[in-house]
Amino acid sequence: MDSKQKDGVRRAAAELRVHAALEEIQEAQELLGRATAQVCSIVGMVPEWQRLGDLYDQVHAAWYLVRDKDSELRSSGGPLLDHEPTARDEESKAQERREVRS
């Protein structure tokens, strides 16, 4: 495999990871949103409700940071993984995602 092909593989792997990261950040935001809704009407939990709301806002902002950086990288050729992915590397990531969603 020549250098151009290797870079193509590294770019494709990086794009998959960015997509997975954005999905996981979205899931975290949804979980925090549900947790916030659970405690919002409990007497005496206003500070906890506010803290969960703050975390939700931070996670929401993080999604945009990752998305915007990805867009920036795409304008200059796309994200690039810092190493050549191995089959084991990618299978490990896929397995982690399956376990989290189970």
Report the chain's C-alpha Rg in angstroms: 18
* Residue 28 token pair: 């975290």
- Which domain range does residue 24 map to? 3-91
At 26-73, the pLDDT tens digits run 999 999 999 999 999 999 999 999 999 999 999 999 999 999 999 999
Distance CA 77, CA 80 (A): 9
Residue 93 has pLDDT above 70, yes or no: no
Residue 97 lies in a domain: no
Q: Is the residue at 98 inside a domain? A: no
pLDDT of residue 44: 96
pTM: 0.77
pLDDT value for 18 = 93
Residue 32, pLDDT score? 96
For residue 98 the two structure tokens come to 């399956």
Domain count, the chain: 1
CA dihedral in degrees (30, 47, 62, 28; nearest 10)?
A: -30
